[in-house]
Structure 1
Amino acid sequence: MKKHIPNFITLLNLLSGCIAILFAVKGNLVMAAVFVAAGIFFDFFDGLAARSLNVKSDVGLQLDSLADVVTSGVVPGIVMYQLMSRALLNSGETGRDWTFSGMEFPFEPVALIGLFITLASALRLAKFNVDDRQTDSFIGLPTPANTLLILSLPLILTFQPSPWISALVLNIWVLMGLTVLSCYLLNAELPLFALKFSDWAFAKNKMRYFFLIACLVLIILLKFLAIPAIILLYVLLSVFQNRSRV
């Protein structure tokens, strides 16, 4: 019975992602973020449960990636599409839907660039499954971290609105640049430290402890604005750590 517990938790991740898609398609990006957060929570605990119960399996590994493709791949792609559509609406660049052979496609062609995040996430997850270098660290930005970065944008717009934030976040060029950066970081040959503690010794985990304390301080000070800052800090600390080892 216990061997099914991690897979059940993984399926809760997948269910959360499916519900998030429904909200994202309807334009409710805040609720989409809520269910993505739930999915990432389950994603963390399915692996923890598998290790604790010693029931890790190949099926569980594949199921975990399939769930992540939905929660941390499809959802951020749709959210970016919605943000780009809003940016185009604000700039007056709307109404350019496709018509092909008499059939209308009610999509903003430019905004479909946001779905590249979904493609890059799927590629990153497929590479992760066959890459034996990523046992205690990551190569490229993990999909949950990238998803939190993208989903932070509608949360910032909703709960920390200001003219300059709205102008920045709903700028089509900023969103396109962020999409390109996101796709690159997901699949870059960039070693990033993992937040997995093999023990609690400070000397061995000082980078992790510093990062967690910095995250707490940033969240207290910046609230949702802290999320992009935390992702940037994560990448910069990983680069610094790699250079110090050379």
Structure 2
Amino acid sequence: MRQLSNVLTLGNLFCGAIAIIFILHAPQYIAEFNGIEYTITNPEPVYWASALVVIAGVLDFFDGLVARWLGIQSPMGKELDSLADVVSFGVVPGMILFRLLRSAYMQQPDVFDVSYFNLAPALLVPCFAAYRLARFNLDTRQAEFFIGVPTPAVGLLVASFPLIMLFNNFNLAHFLQNIWVLYVIIALLCYLMVAEIPMISLKFKSFNMAQNWPRLLLIVLLLAAIPILHYAAAPFIFVCYVVLSLIVPPGKAA
């Protein structure tokens, strides 16, 4: 039982590794339009990668919960959790954004002039995620609340993008096919992960309503948003999380 939380953490890492394989092996084929050949990527494996990030998020939530319930928290478990998170919620989202940028550039008339330098900004996400996680392990201020947006929130947000594009709720796919929108999203996510902004921790440590109402409000908003917004509920709740963290003093959210 002492290794149960570590097993869940390794399950998180396993999901992240499989998600990377899905993204890397998304099959490509050549299609011809108006006499011009284009390389088309089959998006289905990327959707599976998104689902695996969600599963990794569930495992990441329960590994800490189990460790606290069983009283088996350890420095090794903390380090292992960060190593798993940097893959599942850093590398995988970076690769998803890389694919989305590549797809967006495919819509441009100068698509054949695009180099990997145009797509490289997507890989800043895993870099900033690694920095954020390393700082978290050393920062004693983050025992009761976070400083900067936690990497699982970023990972789950980015994982929703391919699914939003698939179902195209509220025509949001149009925005996710715009290279400048994607660049802005990348810049904002990188900034929010390392910003000196106190963010609400979603860990329930007591039954005190005065302390837990921001967490409960986020849960209610999420449950209300899912049947209305579907996969677009992910960016909606992400924005609510950031805004609520800005307006609620950290002590009340701890």
Contact 2:153 2:238 in 1 (8 A): yes
The aligned amino acid for 2:125 is: I
Shift of 1:201: 2.6
CA contact (8 A) 1:96 1:109 kept: no
Which residue identity does 2:101 align to in structure 1? Answer: M
Matching of residue 10 in structure 1 with residue 9 in structure 2: yes
How far did 1:97 drift? 6.5
Q: Does 1:53 align with 2:58?
A: no
Structure 1 residues 151-210: Cα deviation after superposition (integer angstroms, max 9, x where no partner): 111110012356x42321110000001000000000000101111112223223222222
Q: Indicate the percent of aligned positions where both proteins have the same amino acid.
A: 38
Most deviating of 195-204 and 37-46: 195-204
List aligned pairs for 1:12-161, cutoff 5 A. Answer: 12-27=11-26, 28-96=45-113, 108-160=116-168
Q: Is the 8 A contact 2:122 2:186 kept in 1?
A: yes
| TM-score, normalised relative to structure 1 | 0.90
Does the CA-based 8 Å contact 1:7-1:46 persist in structure 2?
A: yes
Partner of 1:211: 218
| Letter aligned with residue 76 of structure 2 | V
Hey, which bits of structure 1, 4+ residues long, moved more than 4 A? none
SS in 1 for 2:146: strand
How many residues are aligned here? 234
Root mean square deviation, CA, Å: 1.7
Residues 243 and 22 of structure 1: is their aligned pair in 2 closer, same or farther, counting only changes over 3 Å? closer
Q: Deviations over 1:24-67 (max 9, x none)?
A: 22342110011111111111111111111111111111111101
**Bigger shift: 19-28 or 128-137?**
19-28
SS in 2 for 1:134: helix
> 2:238 is paired with a residue of what secondary structure?
helix
Q: CA deviation at 1:215?
A: 1.3
Alignment check: 8 A CA contact 2:129 2:193 kept: yes
Counterpart amino acid of 1:41? V
Query: In the TM superposition, what is the alpha-carbon distance from 1:5 to its structure 2 partner?
Result: 1.3
Contact 1:78 1:115 in 2 (8 A): yes
TM-score (norm 2): 0.87
**Runs of at least 5 residues in structure 1 that lack an aligned partner in the other structure:** 99-107
For 2:153 and 2:213, how far apart are their aligned partners in 1?
21
SS of residue paired to 2:203: coil
The reply to whether residue 237 of structure 1 matches residue 237 of structure 2 is no
- Unpaired stretches in structure 2, ≥5 consecutive residues: 27-44
Match of 2:190 in 1: 183
